[in-house]
Amino acid sequence: MFIAVCYDIPDNRRRTKMSNILKGYGTRVQRSVFECDISPEHLGKLRQRLEKLLTEGDGLRYYVLCSDCLKKMEVAAGPPVTRTQPYYAV
């Protein structure tokens, strides 16, 4: 499955931790947005790891994109859409 993970974390330390976790699951396309080509099992593990970091006032969103949506994606600038299975951090 292909998802975009977007976060808004005001605390530098927790934001860096979140970014480091996501680097093991996908491709950073903006400062706080990652695209992940991920299995449902790994998504569950990712969600668990990320959501442990959250406190009040934080934002975290998962956008699951269907195959039809992926065909319609356009990139005007920045890295291309990556559809390969990345390594998963343990």
Mean pLDDT for each 10-residue chunk of the chain (90 residues)?
Answer: 96 96 93 94 96 96 91 84 61
Domains of the chain by range and CATH? 2-72 (3.30.70.240)
pTM of the model: 0.86
CB 1 within 8 A of CB 62: no
How many Cβ atoms sit within 10 Å of the Cβ of residue 89? Answer: 13
Residue-level pLDDT at 67: 85
pLDDT reported for residue 74: 87
Name, in order, each residue with C-beta under 8 angstroms of 65's C-beta and a sequence gap of 6 or more: 2, 3, 4, 73
